[in-house]
Amino acid sequence: MGVITDYLPLWGETLLGTIVLFFGGGALALVLGTLVGAMRVSPVPIARGIGILYVNTIRNTPLTLVFFAFAFALPPLLGLRLTSGVSLTLAISALGIYTATYVAETIRSGINTVPVGQAEAARALGLTFGQVMTLVVLPQAFRSVIPPMMSVFIALLKNTTVAAGFSVVNLGSIRANMSEDGENQFIVLLWVMAIFVALVLLLSWAQRALENRWKVAR
């Protein structure tokens, strides 16, 4: 218990870091992913091409490499000075852009569950592609992909620890701080694990609540 009580401010700071990364990266991934998912089913060939290129290049790149590009290639290129805010923004961008590919594919699978007749009927009413998507297809698509979407976000939550190696304080960096102080890092890691299990349980609970509310009756 000493490793928690003696270092309460550190645990608070790192937990906050993880939560900020999760929500920042999650929001970016959701917006970008929905956009890319829609692009992949759009009737415009260029949009489809960009969507395919984006998903296939970023999704096939290891997350650590994406982080490396953001932490080491981008700052000299843009002449950035690495303040905490800049590092955090770079990390959130890396996480968001990486996770967006998974969100896009999940949404595309959801779009495929919406009966073709729905879109055809919407088009017959004179709606544009944007209107068909936002008013008819995507709302239904989201409802049918809640469990896989939540898996994507659980993966995102755990992926936040990668940012620890790139100058963003989060639960993944607490081990380095504690072992420098001579604490037993195995015990520290067990606590970090327990916190992640608790956070994931929260997400699972949110998933069940959303499922019960939005379930598509078939």
Partner 1 sequence: MRTTRIAGAIAGLAVAALALTACNSGSPADPGGDAGAGEEETGALWEVATDVALEGSPTFDNMTERGKVIIGVKNDQPGLGYEDAATGERSGFDIGIAQWIAASLGFGEDQIEYQTIPSANREQAIVNGDIDYYVGTYSITDKRKEQIDFAGPYFITGQGLLVAADNTDINGPDDLAGKIVCSVTGSTPLQRIRDEFSPGDTVEYDTYSQCVEQLKAGSVDAITTDEAILAGYVAQDPDALKIAGEPFSEERYGVGLAKGDTVLQQHINDLFTNGGDVWQALFDLNLAPAGIQGTQPAVD
Contact footprint for partner 1 (CB under 8 A)? 72, 75-76, 79-84, 87, 164-167, 169, 173-182, 184-186
Q: Closest CB to partner 1 among 4 and 47? A: 4
Q: Closest CB to partner 1 among 42 and 89? A: 89
For residue 28, give Cα distances in angstroms to 12, 68, 132.
24, 19, 23
Q: Closest CB to partner 1 among 148 and 165? A: 165
CB 55 within 8 A of CB 36: yes
- Distance, CA of 158 to CA of 151 (rounded, Å): 11
Least distance to partner 1 from the beta carbon of 20, Å?
16
Give CB contacts under 8 A, 24+ apart, made by 105-108.
Answer: 105/37, 105/55, 105/59, 106/33, 106/37, 106/145, 106/148, 106/149, 106/152, 107/33, 107/34, 107/37, 107/38, 107/138, 107/141, 107/142, 107/145, 107/149, 108/37, 108/40, 108/41
Least distance to partner 1 from the beta carbon of 156, Å?
21
Q: Closest CB to partner 1 among 104 and 168? A: 168
Least distance to partner 1 from the beta carbon of 79, Å?
8
Q: Closest CB to partner 1 among 80 and 194? A: 80
- Distance, CA of 195 to CA of 42 (rounded, Å): 41
Least distance to partner 1 from the beta carbon of 164, Å?
7
Least distance to partner 1 from the beta carbon of 84, Å?
5
Q: Is the dihedral angle over the CA atoms 58, 59, 62, 67 positive or is it negative? A: positive
Least distance to partner 1 from the beta carbon of 64, Å?
11
Q: Is 115 helix (H, G, I), strand (E, B) or coil?
A: coil
Q: Closest CB to partner 1 among 82 and 201? A: 82
